[in-house]
Amino acid sequence: MSCTAVCDRSNPKYQRLMELMRQVFLPITEKVIFSLKAGEQVLLSGKLITGRDQVHLRFTEALKKRRKLPVTIKGQTIYYVGPSPAKPGEIIGACGPTTGRRMDAFSPLLIKNGLKAMIGKGGRGEEVVAAIKRFKGIYFISVGGAGAYLAKRVKSSEVIAYPELGPEAVFQLTVFDFPVIVAIDCEGRSIFN
């Protein structure tokens, strides 16, 4: 199937796949976070930032030394991804989520500093669940291993911090109809329990 089938909202196959999925716009509001329940499949549209292992390490070191972060994380959605390179003329390469658990040691501090939503794959540790509950955040999982499919849901991509990290740099992405599942909601309920 060509890309048009998954990008074109008038295509019946697209409609069938996406029917009954609720739209959520980014930046995410507290009101929307409160209304989302673990297990719900939703479509995200709007701007988010990316960051994985090395970015989490750097953010944490900066916060501990009370240094300013290169990007604002307050109210932000962070997507754990290291995309493959974009081909000439393309916006981005494959861009599916990476394992959330590797960010567990860092996430509570970021959440405490205003980070609202995280997108990854797989489960999270107890301390992350507790921080989500306490500061009313949310953890989504996207479709791990569907890197090509998710690339078609990215409208723009730009490196905004740590370009030397290559695929691990902080990108700002604009996504549309980006499929995710609420894995841990703001009450601390998890689909993995």
Instruction: Check binding of 192 to another protein (CB under 8 A).
Output: yes
Could you give the 3-state DSSP secondary structure of residue 68?
A: coil
Reduced DSSP (H G I as helix, E B as strand, rest coil) percent helix, strand, coil of the chain, to 5: 30, 25, 40
Query: Binding pattern to another protein, positions 46-75, x when CB under 8 A?
Result: --------x---------------------
Q: Does residue 56 have an active-site annotation?
A: yes
Instruction: Check binding of 43 to another protein (CB under 8 A).
Output: no
Q: Which of 36, 55, 56, 152 is catalytic?
A: 56
Closer residue to another protein (CB): 23 or 72: 23
Smallest distance, another protein to C-beta of residue 11, A:
12
Could you give the 3-state DSSP secondary structure of residue 97?
A: coil
Q: What is the rounded end-to-end Cα distance, in angstroms, of the chain? A: 36
Instruction: Check binding of 101 to another protein (CB under 8 A).
Output: yes
Smallest distance, another protein to C-beta of residue 128, A:
13
How is residue 61 annotated by DSSP? H
Closer residue to another protein (CB): 16 or 68: 16
Residues that contact another protein, how many (by CB under 8 A) = 45
Instruction: Check binding of 153 to another protein (CB under 8 A).
Output: no
> CA-CA distances (angstroms) from residue 167 to 37, 100, 128?
32, 17, 25
Q: Which two tokens stand for residue 158?
A: 């730009």
Instruction: Check binding of 23 to another protein (CB under 8 A).
Output: no
Q: Where are the beta strands (DSSP E) in 84-186?
A: 117-120, 138-142, 154-161, 170-184
Closer residue to another protein (CB): 135 or 143: 143
> CA-CA distances (angstroms) from residue 13 to 5, 49, 106, 163?
7, 30, 40, 38
Q: Among residues 44, 141, 154, 161, which is the contact residue for another protein, using CB under 8 A?
A: 141
| Dihedral of alpha carbons 100, 167, 92, 5, sign | negative
| Interface with another protein (CB under 8 A) | 1-3, 5-6, 17, 39, 41, 54, 81-87, 90, 93-96, 98-101, 121-123, 141, 143-149, 151-152, 166-167, 179, 181, 183, 191-192
Catalytically active residues, by annotation:
56
